[in-house]
């Protein structure tokens, strides 16, 4: 089992009615990910995406390659790439959370959201462990 997390920035091509733009992505992602056995979660806040993809390594890398060419986002940076024992998300295809202030608070207890952005922009290393903790936190909240 393989996990990949990336962070990216919505481009002007992303539907600026955010909810519509996100719905368009999820409408394609959910059936597609289910058919290729990929699970994970897409987080979105104010023009920033952070997505976890997990599944067979080649399948995940192949999907990420496709997502990477999507003109609706840019400045893509991989934050986590690792082999793992099992999935974090087993019950659904692509979980989704639009992050609001309450969630920012929750994330910031692990790693300040602003710091994640800053480190990404500065091409510094962000702790893989802490990034995964963020997704774990959302997983437990959703259950
Ligand atoms: C932020 C973001 C996340 C995406 N996540 C997925 C995903 O998890 N699964 C997926 O199939 N497509 C995802 N897409 C859409 C793909 O980039 C692509 O449009 C879609 O897979 C259809 O590809 P096709 O036109 O080559 O069939 C995402 C797009 C963006 C901008």
Label each residue of the chain as H, E or C: CEEEEEEEEECCCCCCCHHHHHHHHHHHHHHHHHHHCCEEEEEEECCEEEEEEEECHHHHHHHHHHHHCCCCEEEEEEEEEEECCCCCCCCCCEEEEECCHHHHHHHHHHCCHHHHHHHHHCCCCCCHHHHHHHHHHHHHHHC
- Predicted local distance difference test score (pLDDT) of residue 107: 85
- Predicted local distance difference test score (pLDDT) of residue 9: 95
pLDDT at 97 over 90: no
pLDDT band for 142, please (50, 70, 90 cuts).
low
Ligand 1 atom nearest the C-alpha of 73 is: 31
Ligand 1 atom nearest the C-alpha of 67 is: 17
Report residues whose beta carbon is within 6 angstroms of any ligand 1 atom. Answer: 25, 28-29, 32-33, 42, 49, 51, 63, 66-67, 70, 72-73, 94
pLDDT band for 90, please (50, 70, 90 cuts).
confident
Question: What is the average per-residue pLDDT within 69-85?
Answer: 96
Q: Which of 16-25, 49-58, 70-79, 92-101 has the lowest mean pLDDT?
A: 92-101
- Predicted local distance difference test score (pLDDT) of residue 76: 96
For the domain made up of 2-142, the CATH class stated in words is alpha beta
């Amino acid at each position: 089992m393989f996990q990949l997390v990336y962070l990216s920035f919505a481009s002007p091509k992303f539907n600026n009615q955010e909810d519509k733009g996100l719905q368009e992505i999820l409408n394609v992602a959910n059936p597609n990910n289910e058919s290729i056995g990929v699970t994970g979660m897409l987080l979105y806040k104010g023009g920033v995406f952070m997505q976890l993809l997990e599944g067979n390594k080649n399948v995940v890398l192949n999907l990420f390659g496709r997502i990477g060419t999507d003109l609706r986002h840019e400045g893509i940076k991989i934050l986590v790439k690792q082999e793992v024992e099992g999935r974090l998300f087993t019950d659904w295809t692509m979980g989704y959370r639009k992050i609001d202030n309450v969630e920012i608070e929750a994330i910031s207890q692990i790693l300040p959201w602003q710091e994640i952005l800053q480190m990404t922009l500065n091409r510094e290393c962000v702790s893989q462990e802490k990034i995964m903790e963020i997704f774990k936190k959302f997983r437990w909240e959703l259950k």
